[in-house]
């Protein structure tokens, strides 16, 4: 076995020295160069066929590869995952009931229940595509897919969101920072693409109504009505796809557009470089824990400031897990994140800001 492992390691790396450690572990002191990141990926895949795992540790100047036997661990799903999934489903149903009441009062549909069902199904599809994208990229890169923990919302309290999306719980260390970055960013990007499609469809399948000036509608006092500004992406799309000019005080309303509003806001929250969110994972992979923690604190302040107090509960919840993450680290601890991914991280923050509704106030100061 040692000869076979040694032959594979020497196939990809220049070995300076090697040691046989306790419990049959092997350590190879290697020369790290420009190709070492990709070579380690190939080595890991080949060595896994022998029932072993490779780890690249140390520094670029003093790097070494550690070979261990793979341990088969039984994966048990926590009861908390099922509880959160149940609460998320309940929140979606409650949100659908509230939307049915709103559509009935606005008179935008001959069948409010159908519109509300379409609204709930649209949100489920966006969340599902988000998770499917994580799983797809994990499978393409031959990584162990992460588990998803769905976070329920409280419609009317967590803004108008029936869910806050999900957080990823990784069962195994990622091969390297590039792989973790790609797996993580795939979810929010899929959600944004889906939200864009829903918004465009909503421009062509919508009703035009006069928006009420009061916060409640006559005869529907128990149904709150709040006007939400569009986000930057929606404004740009409206310039391209809006099929009709509207008189002052009138708005287009559609369940499809409402789905896109929720989808874009979920993408904004997901991309925030904070804590257990996808953006927090990206920040730690790009900047390290210390700088990522600073961005996380700034994200909480931003949530407190935008349209106060719409996102306060979300900000408070994130503040309790500000420095927490569910990723398991990297098997390649030496290689850095690629330059193009570092640039894309900066772009992801800009994209997040494009997805949040343009605020009406900032710390209660009207804009």
CATH number where 18 lies: 3.90.1070
Q: 142 and 290 share a domain?
A: yes
Distances (CA, A) of 333 to 58, 81, 235: 7, 30, 42
Look at residues 69, 91, 106 and tell me which one is the last residue of a structural domain. Answer: 69
- Distance separating alpha carbons of residues 48 and 26, to the nearest angstrom: 14
For residue 74, being part of any structural domain is answered with no
Amino acid 242: pLDDT: 63
pLDDT tier at 365, thresholds 50, 70, 90: confident
Rounded distance between C-alpha atoms, residue 178 and residue 277, angstroms: 17
Say what the pLDDT of residue 96 is: 87
CA–CA dist 203, 83 (Å, integer): 37
CA 270/CA 346 separation, integer angstroms? 15
Torsion of CA 144, 163, 301, 194, to 10 degrees: 70
Tell me the C-alpha distance between 279 and 295, whole Å: 10
Per-residue pLDDT band at 103 (split at 50, 70, 90): confident
Check residue 336 and give its pLDDT: 95
Instruction: Kindly state whether residue 328 falls inside one of the protein's structural domains.
Output: yes
pLDDT surpasses 60 at 225: no
361 and 334 inside one domain: yes
For residue 65, the model assigns a pLDDT of 96
Are residues 146 and 55 part of one domain?
A: no
Single out the residue in 25, 40, 69 at which a domain terminates. Answer: 69
Interval 233-283: pLDDT, tens: 999 998 887 655 666 666 677 889 999 999 999 999 999 998 889 999 999
In this structure, are 100 and 34 located in the same domain? no
**What SS3 class is residue 68?**
strand
Least confident of 34-38, 275-279, 319-323: 319-323
Rounded Cα gap, residues 36 and 180, in angstroms: 17
**Does residue 176 form part of some domain?**
yes
Structure tokens at 207: 């009703």
Q: Is the overall model pTM greater than 0.85, yes or no?
A: yes
**What average pLDDT score do residues 110-116 get?**
80
- pLDDT for position 214: 46
User: Which residue, 15, 36, 69, sits at the end of a domain?
Assistant: 69
Q: What is the number of structural domains in the chain?
A: 2
| 52 and 125 both lie in a single domain | no
Confidence of residue 76 (pLDDT cuts 50, 70, 90): confident
Domain that holds residue 22: 2-69
Average pLDDT over residues 200-215: 71
The pair of three-digit structure tokens given for residue 331, joined into one six-digit string: 């098997």
């Amino acid at each position: 076995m040692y000869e076979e492992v040694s032959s594979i390691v020497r196939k990809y790396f220049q070995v300076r020295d090697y040691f046989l450690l306790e419990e049959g572990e092997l350590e190879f002191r290697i020369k790290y160069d420009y190709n070492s990141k990709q070579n380690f990926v190939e080595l890991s895949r080949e060595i896994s066929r022998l029932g072993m795992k490779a780890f690249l540790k140390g520094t670029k100047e003093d790097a070494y590869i550690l070979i261990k036997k793979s341990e088969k661990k039984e994966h048990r799903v926590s009861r908390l995952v099922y509880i959160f999934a149940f609460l998320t489903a309940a929140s979606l149903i409650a949100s659908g009931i509230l939307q049915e009441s709103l559509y009935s009062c606005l008179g935008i549909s001959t069948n409010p229940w159908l519109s509300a069902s379409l609204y709930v199904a649209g949100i489920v599809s966006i969340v599902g595509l988000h998770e499917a994208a994580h799983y797809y990229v994990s499978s393409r890169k031959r990584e162990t897919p992460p588990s998803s923990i769905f976070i329920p919302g409280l419609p009317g309290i967590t803004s108008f969101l029936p869910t806050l999306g999900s957080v990823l719980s990784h069962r195994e260390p990622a091969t390297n920072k590039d792989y973790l970055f790609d797996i993580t960013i795939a979810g929010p990007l899929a959600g944004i693409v889906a939200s864009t499609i829903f918004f465009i469809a909503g421009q062509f399948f919508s009703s035009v109504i006069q928006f009420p000036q009061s916060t409640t509608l006559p005869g529907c006092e128990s149904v709150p009505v709040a006007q939400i500004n569009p986000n930057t992406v929606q404004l740009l799309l409206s310039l391209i796809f809006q099929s009709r000019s509207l008189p002052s005080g009138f708005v287009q309303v559609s369940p499809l557009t409402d789905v896109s509003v929720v989808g874009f806001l979920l993408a904004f929250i997901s991309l925030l470089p904070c804590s257990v969110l996808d953006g927090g994972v990206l920040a730690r992979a790009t900047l390290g824990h210390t700088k990522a923690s600073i961005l996380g604190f700034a994200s909480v302040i931003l949530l407190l400031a935008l349209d106060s107090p719409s996102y306060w509960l979300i900000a408070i919840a994130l503040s309790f897990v500000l420095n927490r993450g569910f990723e398991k680290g990297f098997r390649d601890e030496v290689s850095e994140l690629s330059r193009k991914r570092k640039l894309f991280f900066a772009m992801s923050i800009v994209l997040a800001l494009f997805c949040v509704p343009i605020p009406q106030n900032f710390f209660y100061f009207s804009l």
